[in-house]
């Protein structure tokens, strides 16, 4: 049968594709991908025996409606074989997280998690927050659920162990203790207030504490305090007493007290009305490193244990699993999941459903948090859905918009111009989809229309290029809001018309008389400019979108302006890198001091050779000829 025949039933077309793939399908473990006509992944699955697993999709009458629809859209298949089913599980999780197929359970988690780092490449190690690849030599402790959680821990660690948090460059240039030393949160190794041996003892105590040895650290500090009292060193004893108090505060400040858990993640799932929340508590060294709620995307028919299994597989795709994972439901193929995670961690990983004791209490606490987070989200979604329906009615959209994009510009007299885009939808603001555009020009300073044209051209040109790739950049919004009136709206309409982008409702929001909030005018095709009643909920919603875009534009502009201010004319001189620039600024006090310096003064500056001094002098005095400088 020709699978391109228009008379072929759609589901049978997909079955034919699958049957053709089965003729060369191996019986080994592996991962299979079902692709649509555009080549986008519909579904990613793993199997112990690929041939047997994929053959089940040809029994179309036995499949639920959702899978029949998936088979009907299948235009081709791809497979990757693996040595074991556990390896297939790891590969499946990686592909699902990367490709986000719409028939899979998908964890949308693009953030990187912060860690506490104790550097190992300096005589006086620094304690700091760290995100991203762990390439710097040192010890890393975490992950933490949020920046707030890691900042709280860093503050407590400074209070107890008096470790420096400043960058190495700041450390090298200190001449006197900083404020942290004054408030007893640093031992001031930068100016020799502590010996290398004593500082190393603090570092070792911090490592022991972060690794779960709280009791031994507390015992050691108590012994030090008693010894100081015996030799009448009351001031040192008072310092140690304050450290012990700080240590006690840290130990008693957890929302839950998981001291006996060591290193573990507590993972609880809760489902209501076809939606699911997964709550994760990070416990490291017996400390609660915070918690975070996740809301995986999945079909309403998926059961909680299967959602939890898919979540765990994808969650640990890019982070090391701890030795124990405590869950509130047993997982399908739990032994296989443990084997896969053990392979990834290169040590044994256990998944446990506690039945009694402290571990059960901790899981129950996480379960309550999951339920409450899901209830809050459902309540917020209901309100958001009603507002989106109001927006659809106001602007004559065919349905509640799934994606709203709002654009704004920011500059001061044309300097450091930035355009920004924020995104909102049924789940509220989608901050991972926000974008900022440094205006490239050439544009007349302050020409807001030209800035908007450049931003929209760049955004929608990329959207057209990436349509069908599965990336958020390839999604065309149903509604675009422009901060401006008829002129901005006309500029935006011209851009979309030139690019051939249709089915996008463009709306300009112009500030009211005296720029009063609540008196905005709305401009859109097919309607005369209009205002909404001052207390209309949809007006408040649109104002919130406009204000968020304005906030993001101002923030982006300030960041760009700060970056410009941090640059120096010294950066334009060949041979001046960060270290020499810092040395010159420290020696002469400012860029102006370098500019005013004579040639001999430059030659005597630390780290500046005679040739480089001549080059610097020639840069600031272009009219004066100096021997040896071309």
CATH, residue 611 = 1.10.150.20
53 pLDDT exceeds 70?
yes
Listed in sequence order, the residues at least 6 apart from 55 whose beta carbon sits closer than 8 Å to its beta carbon are: 22
User: What per-residue string of b and e applies to 291-305 under the rule 16 or more CB within 10 Å gives b?
Assistant: bbbbbbebeeebeeb
Identify whether residues 238 and 276 lie together within a single domain. no
Region 167-185: what's the mean pLDDT?
A: 87
431 pLDDT exceeds 60?
yes
Range from 40-54, 237-251, 353-367, 572-586 carrying the lowest mean pLDDT: 237-251
Identify whether residues 545 and 409 lie together within a single domain. yes
472 pLDDT exceeds 80?
no
Identify whether residues 265 and 245 lie together within a single domain. no
| Secondary structure of residue 526 in the 3-state scheme | coil
Model confidence pLDDT, tens digit, residues 131-144: 888 888 999 988 88
Q: Is 105 within the bounds of a domain?
A: no
185 pLDDT exceeds 60?
yes
Region 269-294: what's the mean pLDDT?
A: 88
Model confidence pLDDT, tens digit, residues 77-87: 999 999 999 99
C-beta of residue 147 within 8 angstroms of C-beta of residue 154:
no
Residue 420: how many other CB atoms lie within 10 Å: 25
Identify whether residues 454 and 517 lie together within a single domain. yes
| Count of structural domains within the chain | 5
Give me the pLDDT at residue 253, please. 44
Q: Is 391 within the bounds of a domain?
A: no
For residue 575, what are the domain limits?
A: 569-620
Range from 263-277, 491-505, 515-529 carrying the lowest mean pLDDT: 515-529
Region 565-585: what's the mean pLDDT?
A: 71
CATH of the domain at 503: 3.30.420.340
Q: Return d(Cα 612, Cα 422) in angstroms, integer.
A: 47
Q: Model confidence at 1, in pLDDT bands (50, 70, 90)?
A: very low
258 pLDDT exceeds 60?
no
Q: Return d(Cα 230, Cα 219) in angstroms, integer.
A: 17
Q: Is 137 within the bounds of a domain?
A: yes
Domain stop point among 376, 395, 416: 376
Identify whether residues 434 and 313 lie together within a single domain. no
Model confidence pLDDT, tens digit, residues 378-422: 877 788 888 999 999 999 999 999 999 999 887 665 566 788 899
Q: Model confidence at 352, in pLDDT bands (50, 70, 90)?
A: very high
Give me the pLDDT at residue 565, please. 46
Q: Mutual orientation of helices 214-230 and 196-210 as an angle, nearest 10°?
A: 140
Greater pLDDT, 415 or 176:
176
Greater pLDDT, 591 or 80:
80
Q: Is 417 within the bounds of a domain?
A: yes
Q: Model confidence at 568, in pLDDT bands (50, 70, 90)?
A: low
Give me the pLDDT at residue 590, please. 67
Region 227-255: what's the mean pLDDT?
A: 69
Identify whether residues 559 and 579 lie together within a single domain. no
- Helix, strand and coil percent figures for the chain, each rounded to 5: 50, 15, 35
Identify whether residues 448 and 544 lie together within a single domain. yes
Give me the pLDDT at residue 445, please. 66
Range from 54-58, 124-128, 335-339, 597-601 carrying the lowest mean pLDDT: 597-601
Q: Model confidence at 598, in pLDDT bands (50, 70, 90)?
A: confident
Q: Return d(Cα 385, Cα 398) in angstroms, integer.
A: 15
| Secondary structure of residue 54 in the 3-state scheme | helix
Give me the pLDDT at residue 623, please. 63
Give me the pLDDT at residue 7, please. 41
322 pLDDT exceeds 80?
yes
Q: Is 196 within the bounds of a domain?
A: yes
Give me the pLDDT at residue 517, please. 59
Residue with tokens 């998936």: 70
Identify whether residues 461 and 501 lie together within a single domain. yes
Q: Across 430-444, 489-503, 599-613, which has the greatest mean pLDDT?
A: 489-503
| Secondary structure of residue 268 in the 3-state scheme | strand
349 pLDDT exceeds 90?
yes
> What is the rounded average pLDDT for all residues in the chain?
83
627 pLDDT exceeds 60?
no
Identify whether residues 131 and 41 lie together within a single domain. no
4 pLDDT exceeds 50?
no
Q: Return d(Cα 161, Cα 558) in angstroms, integer.
A: 36
501 pLDDT exceeds 50?
yes
562 pLDDT exceeds 60?
no
Q: Is 134 within the bounds of a domain?
A: yes
Give me the pLDDT at residue 629, please. 46
Residue 468 burial (C-beta neighbours within 10 Å; 0-12, 13-18, 19+): exposed
Give me the pLDDT at residue 254, please. 45
How much is the CA Rg of the chain, to the nearest whole Å? 31
Q: Is 629 within the bounds of a domain?
A: no
C-beta of residue 608 within 8 angstroms of C-beta of residue 579:
no
Give me the pLDDT at residue 466, please. 77
Q: Model confidence at 514, in pLDDT bands (50, 70, 90)?
A: low
Domain stop point among 542, 564, 586: 564
Report the Cα–Cα distance between both ends of the chain, in Å, rounded: 79
Q: Return d(Cα 1, Cα 20) in angstroms, integer.
A: 11
Does an H or E element contain 170, and which?
Answer: helix 168-173
563 pLDDT exceeds 90?
no
Identify whether residues 120 and 204 lie together within a single domain. yes
Region 177-196: what's the mean pLDDT?
A: 89
Domain stop point among 222, 251, 280: 251
Give me the pLDDT at residue 575, please. 78
Identify whether residues 545 and 579 lie together within a single domain. no
Report the candidate in 176, 206, 204 with the shortest Cα–Cα distance to residue 188. Answer: 176
% of the chain exceeding 90 in pLDDT: 32
Q: Is 553 within the bounds of a domain?
A: yes
Region 471-500: what's the mean pLDDT?
A: 87
Identify whether residues 543 and 410 lie together within a single domain. yes
């Amino acid at each position: 049968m020709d699978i391109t025949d228009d008379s072929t039933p759609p589901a049978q077309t997909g079955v034919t594709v699958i049957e053709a793939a089965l003729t060369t399908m191996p019986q080994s473990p592996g991962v299979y991908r079902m692709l649509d006509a555009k080549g986008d992944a519909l579904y990613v699955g793993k199997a112990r025996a690929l041939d047997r697993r994929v053959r089940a999709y040809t029994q179309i009458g036995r499949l639920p409606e959702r899978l029949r629809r998936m088979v009907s859209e299948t235009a081709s298949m791809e497979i990757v074989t693996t040595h074991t089913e556990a390896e297939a599980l790891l590969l499946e999780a990686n592909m699902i997280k990367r490709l986000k197929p719409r028939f899979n359970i998908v964890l949308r988690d693009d953030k990187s998690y912060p860690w506490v780092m104790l550097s190992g490449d300096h005589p006086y190690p620094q304690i700091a927050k760290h995100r991203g690849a762990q390439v710097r030599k040192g010890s890393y402790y975490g992950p933490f659920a949020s920046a707030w959680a890691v900042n709280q821990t860093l503050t407590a660690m400074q209070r107890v162990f008096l470790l420096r948090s400043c960058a190495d460059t700041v450390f090298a240039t200190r001449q006197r203790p900083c404020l942290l030393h004054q408030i007893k949160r640093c031992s001031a190794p930068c100016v020799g207030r502590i010996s290398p041996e004593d500082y190393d003892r603090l570092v070792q105590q911090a490592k022991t504490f972060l690794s779960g040895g709280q009791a031994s650290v507390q015992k050691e500090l108590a012994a030090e305090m008693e010894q100081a009292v015996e030799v009448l060193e009351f001031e040192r004893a008072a310092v140690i007493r304050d450290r012990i108090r700080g240590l006690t505060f840290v130990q008693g400040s957890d929302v839950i007290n998981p001291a006996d858990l060591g290193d573990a993640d507590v993972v609880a799932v809760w489902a209501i009305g076809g939606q699911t929340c997964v709550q994760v508590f990070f416990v490291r060294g017996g400390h609660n490193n915070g918690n975070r709620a996740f809301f995986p995307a999945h079909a309403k028919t998926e059961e909680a244990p299967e959602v939890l299994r898919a979540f765990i597989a994808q969650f640990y795709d890019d982070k090391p699993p701890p030795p124990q994972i405590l869950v509130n439901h047993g997982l399908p193929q739990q032994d296989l999941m443990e084997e896969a995670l053990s392979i990834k961690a290169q040590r044994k990983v256990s998944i446990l459903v506690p039945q009694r004791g402290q571990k059960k209490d901790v899981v129950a606490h996480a379960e309550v948090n999951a339920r409450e987070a899901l209830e809050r989200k459902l309540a917020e979604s209901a309100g958001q859905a009603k507002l989106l329906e109001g927006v659809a009615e106001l602007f004559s959209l065919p349905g509640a918009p799934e994606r709203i994009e709002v654009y704004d510009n920011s500059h001061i007299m044309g300097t450091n111009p930035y355009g920004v885009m924020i995104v909102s939808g049924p789940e509220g603001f989608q901050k991972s989809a926000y974008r900022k555009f440094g205006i490239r020009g050439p544009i007349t300073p302050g020409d807001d229309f030209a800035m908007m044209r450049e931003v929209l051209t760049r955004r929608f040109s990329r959207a057209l290029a990436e349509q069908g790739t599965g990336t958020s950049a390839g999604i065309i919004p149903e509604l675009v809001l422009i901060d401006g009136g008829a002129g901005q709206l006309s500029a935006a309409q011209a851009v979309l018309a030139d690019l051939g982008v249709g089915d996008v409702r463009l709306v300009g929001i112009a500030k009211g008389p005296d720029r009063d909030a609540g008196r905005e005018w709305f401009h859109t095709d097919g309607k005369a400019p209009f205002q909404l009643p001052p207390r209309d909920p949809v007006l408040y919603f649109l104002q919130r979108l406009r204000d968020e875009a304005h906030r993001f534009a101002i923030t982006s502009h300030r960041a760009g302006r700060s970056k410009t201010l941090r640059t120096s004319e010294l950066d334009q001189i060949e041979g001046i890198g960060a270290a020499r620039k810092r040395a010159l600024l420290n020696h002469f006090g400012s860029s102006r001091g370098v500019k005013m310096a004579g040639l001999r003064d430059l030659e005597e500056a630390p780290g500046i050779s005679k040739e480089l001094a001549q080059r610097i002098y020639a840069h600031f005095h272009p009219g004066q000829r100096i021997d040896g400088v071309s």
